[in-house]
Structure formats: structure tokens, C-alpha cells
Structure 1
């Protein structure tokens, strides 16, 4: 389904999201105070604007209240990020996602109603650390400080075993929510079917429980 996104702040994070959403076929309105950054995404966004997200006249001009999502990816100017978030929440945009610089910034964004808060460097650090410390971790998504979804590669150690044999919920407190095999994802895997080496187990749980499962079973 084609959606409308506004991205305010076109640094590396904001411009990367802009390009990906545009290539996926969505309408993307890109905004930054730096004309060079705006020029860099021209042709990779539906419309581009040179302006400040704290400028209420600009927000009215582009009809910010009509957007499905607004992503505030302003760089180091925490004050501008907070003011932009406040203005956009005042326009009743249903999904306002904001990049946070630090824990203090995160707390303020929570209090003023940001719907989702990103820590791109911190989240990427968690992913890279997971990749570096295990040959079986293929992908890693933080859901909160304690919970994650993780893709793990089934090794020869579990080949021939079933989900009943492993029983990760009982033994480790985490859950296999899907199995990816030969490019296809089975979201209702047969618990009595044997696993193959090379299967990708998509799991959810507390990070410590997921680590215990990985270290104990794979």
C-alpha cells in the first residue's frame, strides 16, 4: 500500500530512509535546512523542501497533518528536534518517529509524545556485536532494552531434532515464531517436523534467554 512519509533531517540516517522508502514506491517529502543535502536527494524523493521543521508555516504549507508518518532525523540540534516533534504532534500526525541523540533526549521525546524513538548508532552497535560474537546470528532487531527478535542459523547440532525436542519456551523462555527454509517463511511450523542444518530460526524473547538458547543448542 502506497503511503505518505515526511522526513525532516537529511543526514546519513534521514537520507538513507528517504531513498529506501522512495524506491519502495511510497510518496516521500524530504526536508532539511541545508540546501546541499536537499539537492542530494532530489530525484530520490517525491518532493523536496529547504526549510526548518520548527517553522509552522512550512508545516502548514506541505500539509503535514495529511501524512501517515513523519520521521524526524535531525542531527545534533536537540532543541530543533524537540520543537519539531512538538509542532508535528500538535498537527495530530498518527505516527511520529524521532531519532534521539542520547538518553536525556529520549526521555524528553517520550514525554512530548513521540510514537517511536530511534537510536541508530546504538541499535547498529547491538547488531554488529551480535554478528561478531556468533557465526549463527543472521539478523537482530531490538524491541526494547530487554527483548529482541533474532534470526539464528540452525547447525548440524540440531539437525533431525524437532521443536518438540528443543522446547525453547520451556527450557529457555524464548519462542520460535517462524522458520525460514529455501527462501520461504513458515509462520506455523510443524512442531514435530525435523529441522535441517541451514534452516533459519526466527525467535523472540529476552536477550539473555536467546543467548542461552544459542549457546546451549546451536
Structure 2
């Protein structure tokens, strides 16, 4: 995949590094020369440029990227203009880091496919981990539904999913199990799957049902 990343602050540079390590073609653009020089180590191409110059974007061939990721810090007007220009150039997938909900609304209006709030999301995950010490990971799907990875309670040890019957008892669904001491994940496990000590349960359910389950699990 050919990815253009605009803005090489903490968020943009870390995304660039991660994608480059996964063998994607990464083009990084920032007006700050020192950040661009550092980015040469973990990008296919690093360019010093003003992201809001439409003709420059086209001349750099950025109309041919598969995905654009925009992370211009607190410069709201620049990110809005950039999304507009990228959309006009025909970039199909645009992900943007937003500052607030008003910024998000405008970005979506001008063509952003996805808007992210990394600081807010990190804060929510941190709060969730403090609230539930045995929580491994947390993903809010909407206001009503969540996906959560949690260490299986001790009481689940050596019991099958059928015996636990979590859907009937708590209204939640185990969609996968990450086995103890392994990166192996068993998706859509059967009722005969037996839980071992240290297994991680990846569960899906309504927020209110997951909260009840967390209380039972010691969270």
C-alpha cells in the first residue's frame, strides 16, 4: 500500500514507523526540516513542504496514494484545507487526527473517511484499565456495544464455554480466546472449548451487560 502521512509530530511519526516496518510504501510530508530529516530513517520518502499548497501536492504525485493520514496538530484550518485538496485530487481513503468534535464535523463534511482522537482514545483505555485491573484491551464500538479482552476469572478454569453459558447468564458473547502464554487466537470458539488458567477472553456485548460481567469477574 502507498501511504502519505502529513505531519510528523508524535502521532504521525509513530504511524509512519509502524507502517514502514510492515513493508508499506510511506511518504511523509512536513514543513519542519528537522522532523523530515529524522523521518528519512523510517520512510520511503520524506519531503519538506507546505501541505496546504494544492499544486505542490499534485506535482508530488500524492493523487496516486492509496491512503492519506493527516496529523497537523492544532492547525485546524490547514487540516481542513488539506482534506479538501486530497479529496479533489481523488484520494479515496483519508484518515485525520481531530482536535475536537466541531473539527471532526467539518473534516467529515469536506471528505474525511475516518476521524480519530488518539489522546482521547488513549485516556479512555487508561481509565478502563484502572477501573478493571484484569482488563487487557478495550474497544468501544458505539455507545451501546464494546469489545473487550479480559483475563479469564479463576472460576472459569477447566470449564467449557458451554458450561459457562455466558450469553444466557450475562448477555455477552465470547468471540475469541487468546491462549495463555501464546499469541495464538482461537476465533469463534465452540461450546466445547475449555478455558485454561491465564487465557484471555475477547468478548462482545452491550455496555451494560459487560459492566455486569466485569463486576462478577472482579473488575
TM over 0.5: yes
CA RMSD of superposed structures (Å): 1.7
Deviation at 1:63, TM superposition (A): 1.6
Deviation at 1:128, TM superposition (A): 0.8
Matched, 1:204 2:204: yes
Partner of 2:115: 117
Partner of 2:190: 190
State which of 66, 73, 76 in structure 2 corresponds to 1:75.
Answer: 73
Do the aligned partners of 1:156 and 1:196 also contact (CA within 8 Å) in 2? no
- TM-score when normalising by structure 1: 0.92
Deviates more, 1:152-161 or 1:206-215: 206-215
Kindly tell me: are residues 205 and 116 of structure 1, through their superposed partners in 2, closer, same or farther at Cα, counting changes over 3 Å?
Answer: farther
Deviates more, 1:77-86 or 1:132-141: 132-141
Aligned residues: 216
Deviation at 1:8, TM superposition (A): 0.3
- TM-score when normalising by structure 2: 0.91
Partner of 2:163: 165
Q: Deviations over 1:183-217 (max 9, x none)?
A: 21111312123212211111223333222222224
Partner of 2:43: 45
Deviates more, 1:58-67 or 1:15-24: 58-67
- 1:136-175 pair list within 5 angstroms: 136-175=134-173
| Distance (Å, rounded) in 1 between the aligned partners of 2:166 and 2:131 | 21
SS of the counterpart of 1:157? helix
Deviation at 1:112, TM superposition (A): 2.1
5+ residue gaps, structure 1, are none
Partner of 2:213: 213
| Distance (Å, rounded) in 2 between the aligned partners of 1:146 and 1:67 | 35
Deviates more, 1:150-159 or 1:96-105: 150-159
| Distance (Å, rounded) in 1 between the aligned partners of 2:63 and 2:149 | 37
